[in-house]
Amino acid sequence: MILTSRIDIINNSYHVTIGLDPGADALTEVEKNALATFGEPVIALGGTFTPSPVTNPATFTLPVKDLRFPSQAPFTQIFPVTTYTPNTAAFATWYRTNIIAAINTAVDAKTALPTTGVGRWTETM
């Protein structure tokens, strides 16, 4: 899988965007087959987060938002500087890193599911 991500500052807010690379065949055949067979994973993009290393304040909360990957990607989260000061950049960076990890974990879980009874056999008699 090939993901792209970016953090931009637009109108005094950090914008974090994460999705599949639009310029490439971003999913492998194994990933495409697993998602077609077992369905798309749902990625939790909201809730209360505790960055590491710990910042002050130590947590930040985002509205609950569960989206399917990859059909509802790219995912964008906005961190207004006025809301998250003094940790806006740290929160945006931590969020980007952890959502990418969540996507990888979810897709890996789908590709690890067993596909029993599927295959090709040759019998010589």
pLDDT at res. 117: 63
- Which of the two residues, 19 and 46, has the higher pLDDT score? 19
pLDDT at res. 29: 92
pLDDT tens-digit readout, 66-93: 999 999 999 999 999 999 888 899 899 9
Cα(88)–Cα(28) distance, integer angstroms: 34
Q: Find the mean pLDDT for residues 18-45.
A: 93
Cα(120)–Cα(49) distance, integer angstroms: 46
- Which of the two residues, 18 and 53, has the higher pLDDT score? 18
The pLDDT of residue 119 is above 70: no
Q: Where are the domains of the chain?
A: 1-7+40-78+88-111
If you average pLDDT over every residue of the chain, what do you get? 90
Q: Find the mean pLDDT for residues 34-42.
A: 95
Q: How many CB atoms lie within 10 A of CB 95?
A: 21
The pLDDT of residue 14 is above 70: yes
- Rounded (10°) angle between helices 88-111 and 29-38: 80
